[in-house]
Every structure is written in C-alpha cells, then in structure tokens.
Amino acid sequence: MEIGLKDDRFHDECGVFGIYGHPEAANITYLGLYSLQHRGQESAGIVSSDGRNLYSHKGMGLVADVFSGSDIERLHGTSSIGHVRYSTTGDSHIKNAQPFVVEYARGGIAVAHNGNLVNAALLRAEFEAYGSIFQSSMDTETIVHLIASSKETSLVNRVTSALKRVQGSYSLLFLTEDTMIAARDPFGFRPLSLGRLKGAWVVASETCAFDLIEADYVREIAPGEILVINKDGIVSYRPFPMVPYKPCVFEFIYFARPDSTIFGANVYSVRKKLGARLSEEHPVEADIVVPVPDSGVPAAVGYAEASGIPFEKGIVRNHYVGRTFIEPKDSIRHFGVKIKLNAIRDVINGKRVIVIDDSIVRGTTSRKIIKMIRNAGAKEVHMRISSPPTICPCYYGIDTPRSKELIASAQTVEDINEYITSDTLGYLSIEGLYRAVSEAGASFCDACFTGKYPIDIIDHAASQLALFK
C-alpha cells in the first residue's frame, strides 16, 4: 500500500501466492497469480530461490503480459513467491511492484504483501530520521527495514519482532534463499490459505489458485499465525496476543472470486444467500432479475431463486476492458461504463426490471446502468444492492475512495435513488448481511458499512497532528 498522509484514500488490493519444494516453482507461481488476477491488475512479480540466490522478475500490467516463457525460465529454483497488485493510477510505478526484494547483512529477502499497514508512515519517519533510505513508497518496505534492523538471530524471530511493531492488515509471504514464511495479521483481515501439491507446500490468497494447479487445500492460515517452511518441514508459531477475529466481509460481497473458499465458506454460496436475503427485505413486483456482470451475478441468482422472478442476463460485459474502478478520473470512469457494459434490448424492452449489483461506491456506475436499461426500453427499474450502504473508507486493504466521494456517506437511500434515477432502491441490511455470512462466523470487519474500525488509523492521526503543528 502506498503511504500517503495527504488523503484518506487507500490505494491497493493485492493477491499473493507462494510455493516451497517444487521443481517448477516459478511456473506454478505464474499459474497461481493468473488465477488471482482479479485481486490486482496493475503489476505482477515473482521472486524465486534456488537455495543460493534470489531471482526476480516484475512488471506493470497483467500476469500474462508481464512474464514471457524465458522470463519464467530465468526464475530458477524450487521455491518462489508472487504478487499481483491493484492500485489507482496515481501511484502506479514499477518501484512499487512486488515482491519487494532486498539484500541485507544476512542475505536476500523478498516480501509479498496483501493488506495495508496503518502505522507504516510513522515507522518510516522514525527510520528516515536515522538516515534510512527507502526505495519505494510502499508500507511493505517498512517491514523489510524492521526485519533488517532486528537484533534477533533467527529469521523467524526477526520476522516476528518486525510484525509485532506493525499494525494493520497483512497476509504476507517472505522468501529467503532457503525459507518461505507465510504470516497473517492477528485480526485475520485478508484471507490466506495453505495447500499441498505433491510434496510441495503452497500458500495463496484464495483457494481458486489451488484448483488451477491441482493442489489440495489443507487449511486457512490462522489469524496471527506465522508459518515457517523450509527443508526441515513446516512449523507454526502464534506469537501475538489474541484479538477478535475480524475477516473482511467485503471479500465475500465483492472482492474474492466466487469459486474460492475463504474464511471457511464458499464465496458463491454466500453471495447467493446475500441475494436471497435481499429479496426478502426488498421484494418488488417485476418481470425479470438482471445482474450487473460479473459482480452482481451470484446475488441475482439468489434473488431470482428466492423471489421466483426469472433471472435474465440482460446486460453483457466486455471482458477485455479492465475494471472501471482502476481509472483515475471521473471523466474516464463515465466513459468506462459504456465501454464495458451493454444492455440487451430484446430482453429488457417493455419489462419491469430488478437490477442487482454488489455495492454502490460513488453511484456513477449505477446511474449509467439505469440510463442504459431505460434506453433499452425498460418500463421500470428497481435497483437492489447485495450489501449495506458503503459509508466509510477501508484502511485495511480494499480500495475505496475517501468518505466524501462515497455517495452513501452523506446521502440517504432516497437521495441516492433519485441520483441514480431508479424507480426504487433497496440495500441489504447489516442484519441481512450477517445472516448470509453466518456460515463463516459471527464476527467480521464491517467498517465500510458501520464505521467501526477494529484498529485505529495511526498514520492518519499522525498526519492530523502534523497539520496541527
């Protein structure tokens, strides 16, 4: 995550993948990253080890564009970690691509991070006051400095002492010449799973990566767990005090892939339940249920099934356009929706349409979609959202805009209904959300919907203080 004290926008979402003990480690990591591409499309990177040296290749763009066959051949060795990064364009720079690799007094170390630290700017300022030089603007680099400056003698103790100083969300992979380490923050904000591929150990943000490489799912990496994997086997450490488990509920709503199992439940099944709950809470007489592809599809299936109203794929998505969300300016975003989505007149014309999407952020997408559906001849358009209103930014690794750009932070549902020009608008309630995700547990980080942040935003407080001074 980019460290920016000036705004409260956080900048990236990511996916990580690692493998230890496989003759084609880099190739498998490439495939793993390919299946995690939805978690980050801006840059991709792999670092491998042959036991003596680390080899790295990173680039801007999609996994398939960043790596050629010969790039992968040059990534020697039987262990490797990889990373895909998703960010807003302002911070897009190769220097921020991961895995982040350094040489320090004890050898090489690479790190791949999904999440966002909330005290990294403060820690960085401390290092810089003593003359440390940083190569990137990523919070992840702070972890590397903490490891390098640790007085501990073993790698696991150095990593542990570093992680005890950072606060925020992290699902991390480290690679040295002979060891891979996986770590998940004590709150367990972001997912991270362990798998087995023949004799090798694999770790991935989401289980869809295991399916592609035909690895067996072993278990989730526990919140606060540090897992050390090397030639002696696998050892688990739990060095942190227990805190409440707070996995990110938005992973279920939007971010994770429907074929993944995260936090103990399948994402598709949860999304269908969100849709079913939504139909109970906001029923309406209509002719068809149409999802906003792709994110609204499972919830629309659930809504249609529960309401008995036929499901129709009345909007087609052009799959060759990146997510509109990564476009930096509003002018481009508006344009992006038209490029990406088109309504099927034959399906929509003369119908009362229920449109299902997973969330409304700024409202621009919904407004455009409703206009498009009306232009295709819809008699009525009823917007249904399979999550509660997004009222607060996330500081733990999901890219949401600052509060004032979140339409629901200042406007009522009636105001939003008017703005997006739907006939009616219904959001899922917090209770409905919890009923749908209950299979995965009772406690989540839902700060984007409630403003209840499990960890204080320390960098933010520091920036306020600096402004005050």
Site residues, ligand AMP (CB under 6 A): 254, 292, 295, 323, 325, 357-366, 398-400
| CB nearer to ligand AMP: pick between 206 and 399 | 399
From the CB of 227, what's the least distance to ligand AMP, in Å?
Answer: 28
The alpha carbon of 153 is separated from its chain's Cα centroid by a whole number of angstroms, namely 34
How open is the CA angle 391-294-396, to the nearest 5 degrees?
A: 40
Number of H helices and E strands in the chain, helices first, is 18, 21
For ligand AMP, the closer CB: 63 or 248: 248
Closest CA to 168 of 184, 155, 191: 184
Considering the complex, what minimum distance in angstroms separates the CB of residue 399 from ligand AMP?
5
| Nearer to ligand AMP (CB atom), residue 201 or residue 250 | 250
394 is an active site residue:
no
Alpha-carbon distance of 78 to 25, in angstroms, equals 5
Taking the complex as a whole, the smallest distance from the CB of residue 255 to ligand AMP amounts, in Å, to 7
Question: What is the number of the residue whose Cβ is closest to ligand AMP?
Answer: 365
Q: What are φ and ψ of residue 52, in 5° steps?
A: -115, -40
Out of 14, 208, 392, 394, pick the active-site residue. Answer: 14
What is the C-alpha to C-alpha distance for residues 30 and 50, in angstroms, rounded to an integer? 17
| DSSP strand pairing (288-291 vs 352-357) | parallel
Closest CA to 384 of 291, 251, 268, 449: 291
Q: Which CB, 91 or 357, lies closer to ligand AMP?
A: 357
Is 27 in contact with 78 (CB distance < 8 Å)?
A: no
The pairing of beta strand 380-385 with beta strand 352-357: parallel
Nearer to ligand AMP (CB atom), residue 160 or residue 387: 387
CB of residue 397 vs ligand AMP: minimum separation in angstroms?
10
Q: Compute the least distance from the CB of residue 420 to ligand AMP, in Å.
A: 9
CA 330 to chain centre: 22
Smallest distance from the beta carbon of 30 to ligand AMP, in angstroms? Answer: 24
Which residues, 6 or more positions from 373, have their beta carbon under 8 angstroms from its beta carbon? 290, 314, 315, 343, 348, 353, 355, 381
Q: CB-wise, 42 or 357, nearer to ligand AMP?
A: 357
List, by residue number, the catalytic residues: 14
